[in-house]
Amino acid sequence: MEMVVVAPPAPGRLEDLRRRFFATPLQAVVSLACLTIMVFLVWKLLNWAVFSAVFTTSGGPEACQAAAGACWSVIAARWRIIFFGLYPYEGQWRSALACVAVVVMTVLSCIPAFWTGRRIALVWGAGTGLFYVLMKGGVLGLAHVGEEAWGGLALTLFIFVTTCLIGFPLAICLALLRRSELPWISRTTGLIIDGVRSLPLISILFTFAVVLPFALPQWLQGDKLYRVILGSALFFSAYQAEIVRGGMQGVATGQEEAAMALGMRYWQRISRILLPQAMRNAMPATINQFVISFKETSLVVIVGFFEILASGNAAYGTGEWRFAYVEVYAFIAFIYFIFVFSLSRYGAFLERRMSVSER
């Protein structure tokens, strides 16, 4: 006997709408409330940011202040200070180019074809080197610009990139030391990692910027910028080490035992067997850690660096644009949002991709 399957008639558009949003009285109330909130917020926002906003600098700050909406003229007038800080005016194209180099480098390292130890090191080495040469100058006919004049977006990106560059290898070392079979090595490393993790980043940055000069001999002190980067790298590596260690725990012990049975030496086992699999396991959490540490670069404003947040404060803080603080903060928030959101979406994509390949 054959069964006849009759599909229920497809609901019409109105019926579909009713089922999705007005199935029960409660659903209807929730839907209407959400709709009201959304329409209200979107309308308010659009009205402020677009319809009643002033975009040109022609009227000057006075005309802008009188307008009902946003005053984007402050961005048009002060974008250079927000992006480049105190970098010399005629050299600002270098700062812009350096930012592009870092962005290209980040995008390249998101492509799976570059995910071997050597290639990723090459990309990051080249990108950071290019950034440094462009910013610092002194070679190839570029005028020398000291670190104290760096600022804005370029400084934010520089701190982020160097933090990762120093912090990532350090994290792997810490993770390996922590899982060492020698009890005193693993215990001491554990103490360092947990100690750093229990402190707030601001206090570490403060210690490295202000307190460390007392505790170091003169020849070891270096520039304040590099001390702060070192502090932020240490903080990053303490968190990342735990992520890497988690990834290592996910690798079956049989893998390492098999490598040992094949007669592989310690470094071969680590670099060929353990780390590749561990990094794969740790990938989503690692991206998340990158996202967090990108946001946390903004904390250096507290120890007196002129990164993008501080240069934003300066852009509205003086003189005639004093009233336009919302616009400046919205603009900087938007810049951060672009970077952080794309990175975290990429992380989510990676997680999906990996969960598919595991099935």
Partner 1 sequence: MVSLLRNQKVRNALLQVLYVGSIAAMVLAGIVIARRNLADQGITSGFDFLFKSTGWDVNFSLLPATANDPYWWYFLIGIINTLFLGSVGLILATIVGTIVGLARTSSNDLARLLGRTYVDIFRNIPLILQVFFWYAIITHLPTPRSAHEAWGFLLTSRGLYIPFPNVGSAAFAAATVAVIAAIVLPAWLGRTSRLAQPIGQRRAIQLAAAAVALACAAIILALGRLPDTPLLDFPALQGLNLRGGLRIPPEFATLAIAIAIYGGSYIAEIVRGGFKSVGTGQVEAALSLGLSPWRVFTLVRLPLALRAMLPILANQYVWLMKATTMGIAVGFTDFFMIVALTINHSGQTLEAIGILMAGFLAINLSLAAVFNRINKAIALKGNQLRG
Residues that bind partner 1 (CB under 8 A): 20-21, 27, 30-31, 34-35, 37-38, 177, 182-185, 188, 192, 195, 198-203, 206-207, 210-211, 214-217, 295-296, 298-299, 301-302, 309, 313, 325-326, 329, 332-333, 336-337, 340-341, 344
For partner 1, the closer CB: 33 or 111: 33
Name the DSSP class of 23.
Answer: S
The first and second tokens of residue 201, run together, are 């980043």
Minimum CB separation of residue 215 from partner 1 in Å reads: 4
Cα–Cα distance measured from residue 308 to residue 80, given in angstroms and rounded to the nearest whole number: 11
- 300's CB contacts (< 8 A; 6+ apart) are 159, 205, 228, 232, 307
Cβ count within 10 A of residue 65: 16
Report how far residue 28's alpha carbon sits from residue 253's, in angstroms, rounded to the nearest whole number: 54
3-state secondary structure of 307: strand
Q: How many CB atoms lie within 10 A of CB 168?
A: 21
Contact indicator for 95, 143 with CB cutoff of 8 Å: no
> Alpha-carbon distance 71 to 326, whole Å?
9
Question: Whole-number minimum distance, CB 195 to partner 1, in Å?
Answer: 7
Question: Of 121 and 348, which has the nearer Cβ to partner 1?
Answer: 348
Q: How far is the CB of 312 from partner 1 (least distance, A)?
A: 8
Nearer to partner 1, 117 or 200 (CB): 200
CB of 72 or CB of 124, closer to partner 1: 72
In the bound state with partner 1, the residue whose beta carbon lies nearer, of 36 and 271, is: 36
- Which residues touch 76 (CB under 8 Å, ≥6 apart)? 55, 56, 57
Which residue lies nearer to partner 1 by CB, 38 or 107? Answer: 38
- Minimum gap (Å) between residue 338 Cβ and partner 1: 9
Least distance to partner 1 from the beta carbon of 148, Å? 22
User: Which CB sits closer to partner 1, 132 or 329?
Assistant: 329
- Shortest Cβ distance from residue 9 to partner 1 (Å)? 23
Q: Residues 202, 302: contact at Cβ < 8 Å?
A: yes
Ordered DSSP codes for 193-233: HHHHHHS-HHHHHHIIIIIHHHHS-GGG---HHHHHHHHHH
Nearest Cα residue to 85 out of 176, 138, 158, 177:
158
Nearest approach in angstroms of CB 119 to partner 1 is: 29
Count the Cβ atoms, other than its own, within 10 Å of residue 272. Answer: 12
Task: Select 48 or 206, whichever has its Cβ closest to partner 1.
Answer: 206
Q: Which is nearer to partner 1, 50 or 216 (CB)?
A: 216
CA 194 to chain centre: 23
Least distance in angstroms from the C-beta of 345 to partner 1 = 9
Dihedral over Cα of 263, 269, 273, 278: its sign: positive
Q: How far is the CB of 170 from partner 1 (least distance, A)?
A: 14
User: In the bound complex, what is the minimum distance in angstroms from residue 198's beta carbon to partner 1?
Assistant: 5
Q: Which residues pair with 71 in a beta bridge?
A: 54
Nearer to partner 1, 35 or 260 (CB): 35
Could you tell me which residues come within 8 angstroms of residue 23 by beta carbon, excluding any fewer than 6 positions away?
A: none
